[in-house]
Structure 1
Amino acid sequence: MTGSAAVLVETLDAAAAVLLAAAAAWRARGFGAHLTGAVVLGCVSGLMAGLVREGLLHGAAGARLVLGALPGPALAGALLGALAAAGASALARTRVNGAPAVAGRSLFFWLDSLGLFLAASLGVFCALRETGATASLALGLLAGLAPGFVRDVALGDTARLVEQS
């Protein structure tokens, strides 16, 4: 990979980690998790896409690269998600002209969708250089779905990837 492509992949990988971690922490707070528990789950979910992708492509060496590069963005996203969920919860308890204020409940779905898009796209892009098209699509699917699956199972929720809708 050329230098500019590597920088782009690293930047998008960090962005996916932030988005996925923020979505997981937001969802955990919505399930009543303590701030620290939400942050831990956010960090794990934020790292999961890169770990699955690099672990399957390059084994332990790839996983070490992810663990060296992505904990900071994952922690930042998890903190932002957990604090934003707390702020949205406080906002939902306030009233504007006698009606409850909108708490931005759809933010979780936007964060999760954008993170899934980035994780799956990066999985396909990185795998295309080393495998065929079918394996690249499978890897992209796994990299995109793994963070949400881990989040939902850890929260005791039905994993969204097995729901019909």
Structure 2
Amino acid sequence: MTEHDPFNEPETAHPRARQLMREPMFWDCVDEGAPFGSDEGSDAYYEWRRWRAENPDAPLIDCFEWILDGNLNCYNDALASDAQVAIDLENPDDALLSEHFDMFTLDATIIATGLGQLLDEGTIDLEAKPIIHVAIKRQRYPKAGFFDAATLDAIARVVDEA
């Protein structure tokens, strides 16, 4: 995988990513409300690149399994229910998967990792899309994170079209 900086040199990103990621916020690496603008999103993208270099033929879902420390089965639609998100926000130390990440960090990491595959490879693996959608659903909950509804709508559109 060649080194590139898609945020300062978008022409180095995969052409399909440039086609799908039309909104400027996708290329903003300093806006906390953009997928790659938070420390979590930026770090996730560069961790994705390191993981991919070590696992060139592995599916994205394996990267999610690595991120979740073997708990991929816990990151599902039940985790995105209003009741579970409310519990996770109210009692973050008791939240599912809290031993690894707070809710925003985990969701931002999943979103940026999935979009990272698109930036680099021009696709998002089909079996990984439901996991990214769980992160999007969780972040739609009031007070969940930094992403606004328009950003989440754009991310969902890109994931669906990729």
* Same fold flag (TM > 0.5): no
Structure ID, larger Rg: 1
